[in-house]
Amino acid sequence: MTKKVFKKGVITFDENSKEDMLLCFDKVLDKDGYIVEKNDPSVKILDQQGKPIHRSEFGGIMKGKDGGLVFIKNDIGSLMDLLDAVGFDEDA
């Protein structure tokens, strides 16, 4: 059985909605597929380790501790960081 976890401040979306979701946050994809600022495409969006995020690596967005947005990659390390940040409850 699959458990779904819903947490306040976490937005989830499917593969086909990535670009629409990015646009809601004034982000777009550059010609190489990296997430960039809509108003300044020379500024790439970075993950928590300071690396640019490619469309194929994009896993989600959440509100950071400082109130800003945190862009999350879809790799296991980033997803584990997300679970720690939102306080995953195995019994939920």
Asked whether residue 24 is assigned to any structural domain, the reply reads yes
Q: Does some domain include residue 2?
A: no
Q: Which domain holds residue 65?
A: 10-86
Region of residue 3 (left: phi > 0; alpha: psi -120 to 50; beta: else): beta
What is this structure's pTM? Answer: 0.74
Domain membership flag for residue 30? yes
Q: Which two tokens stand for residue 19?
A: 């670009």
Q: Has residue 31 been placed in a domain?
A: yes
Per-residue pLDDT of the chain (92 residues; tens, 9 = 90+): 455 555 665 666 677 788 988 999 999 999 999 999 999 999 999 988 889 999 999 988 877 778 888 888 888 887 777 677 666 555 55
34 phi/psi in degrees, rounded to 5: -90, 150
Q: For the chain, how many structural domains are there in total?
A: 1
Q: Is residue 68 part of a domain?
A: yes
